[in-house]
Amino acid sequence: MTIPENIYLQENESKTYNFKVSTDESLALCSIAGHVLKNDDNLIAISGATVSLLNSVTRETVASTVSAKDGEYVFYDVKEGTYIVVANKIGYKSSADSYVSAINNSIINLDIKL
């Protein structure tokens, strides 16, 4: 029996279909996001900072982005694993290494201070 792509029901009508759902673990990805902030009591957003996602073992760059006007940065579709997130911008001291563990289907919030 083939299950139709679209199923439409009339009022008070029901239909039953049996099907199996399988998951592909390679599609279960993570996001890492946060803000780049000035390292003081005011927590002022820093735009234009380069934020890098590094492999925690090799320190090779996996991805990089630039913080937005409000200091926000986001890494989408990060595979499960352990990473280092660092940020830098001319005129500011580079951030300390921040280690994060990406777990499938999670969203990690990490603010970085320069």
User: What is the C-alpha end-to-end distance of the chain, expressed in Å?
Assistant: 60
User: Is the pLDDT reported for residue 24 higher than 60?
Assistant: no
Q: In angstroms, rounded to a whole number, what is the distance separating the alpha carbons of residues 46 and 41? A: 14
**Going from the N-terminus, what domains does the chain have, and what CATH number goes with each?**
27-113 (2.60.40.10)
Q: How confident is the model at residue 38, as a pLDDT?
A: 93
User: Is the pLDDT reported for residue 79 higher than 70?
Assistant: yes
pLDDT digits (tens, 9 = 90+) for 25-52: 555 689 999 999 998 888 899 999 999 9
The model scores a pTM over 0.85: no
